[in-house]
Amino acid sequence: MDLTYTPEEEAFRAKVAAWIKENAPRRDQRSDVQAMREWQRTLYKAGYLGAGWPTEYGGANLTPMQQAIFNEEMARAGAPGAINSMAIWWVGPAIIRYGTEEQKKRFLAPILSAEEIWATGYSEPGSGSDMAAAKMKAVREGDFYVVNGQKVWTTIAHISDWFFCLVRTSTEGSKWAGLSLLLIDLKSPGVEVRPIRQITGDSEFNEVFLHDVKVPVQNLLGKEGQGWEIVSSALVNERSGIAGSLRVDQLLDKLFTSARKRDKVDDKLLRQKLATLAIYAQVLKSFSLRALSDALHQRFNPHMSAAMKLFSTELNQRFSETGVDMLGPYGVLWQGNQQTPDNGTWAYQYLYDRSATIAGGTSEVQRNIVAQRVLGLPRGS
């Protein structure tokens, strides 16, 4: 296997690295929503967004290798991704595949330009990661669906304009059969968004309540009863690659640097932990190269994302746990305190990483997917 880059690819890498250095927003701008909208517009105008989208809908004219190189350089520079990334990964491709021509003209361009930010509404109270158990009800009344119910753990709903929402339009047949997908304006009367305060002190997740919300029938994506198919196909889109393994390498280097600063390089237990993490980092890199190879050769591997999500999120938790353990009592000191080791970032990362094995499908769900659909193991009775 030839893992080297061509001269043209290396030239593209140099061009991208210089562009990111010149254009990436400052760290003090990254919590400002308008600044992040502008950053996404800058990415879009430069031709770096929507690489998997058809060019007629504004997609970037990048090869899979160029996209991988771009993602790698973004990770290397620590540059923020697009604020509307979930819409670019999931919503846009779903509209491209299942939407009417009117829906494509209406929604696709504002997604890439960050004119309209999207949240995705899957999880509900009491059903956890079992999306097929959704109870949010949508009843057809003439030219509208009237929607009632609640979603929870809805990422960035508090700054979003639109809702890619899984609803129940029928109770007939299996629980999967009665699900449909609606595109809902979050500014509609009857929509209430309540941010959830997380263990980190942030409020990235939200509860969303819909009370008699009227949604035009033309905002149904696909057909009634096709919601499960649409959501399942959207979640197959890969979110990992070489960039993910590079971020792990950066975390490993951060741990090595911290160990040297604290004179712990001779700690045998810590050395063993770091060696184990280094091995896992190589496994993740192999995972990433496999995903990249699949993309380059147009091989469809729908269950690779489940295995990569499971492995990478649990590995990130191992890294932050090791960072906190190595600092001892100092490991609980908070981010932003310049006098604490590593600027207190390990404490924040440790808490934030707790969510990674829940968001986007729990580790238990990913294990079931791998066991049943990759390994062919029987479902338990």
Beta bridge partners of 163: 119, 184
User: Contact at 8 Å (CB) between 111 and 84?
Assistant: yes
**Residues comprising the chain, all counted:** 381
In which region does residue 153 sit, left (phi positive, over 0), alpha (psi from -120 to 50) or beta (all else)? Answer: left
**How many alpha carbons lie under 13 Å from residue 217 in its C-beta half-sphere?**
8
User: Contact at 8 Å (CB) between 111 and 91?
Assistant: yes
221 class by beta-carbon count within 10 Å (0-12 exposed, 13-18 middle, 19+ buried): buried
In which region does residue 211 sit, left (phi positive, over 0), alpha (psi from -120 to 50) or beta (all else)? Answer: beta
User: Contact at 8 Å (CB) between 346 and 320?
Assistant: yes
Q: Which of 116, 204, 224, 238 is catalytic?
A: 238
- Using DSSP's 3-state secondary structure scheme, residue 161 falls into coil
Q: Could you count the other beta carbons within 10 Å of the beta carbon of residue 129?
A: 18
Asked if 321 is an active-site residue, the reply is no
User: Contact at 8 Å (CB) between 156 and 114?
Assistant: no
Which residues form the catalytic set?
A: 238
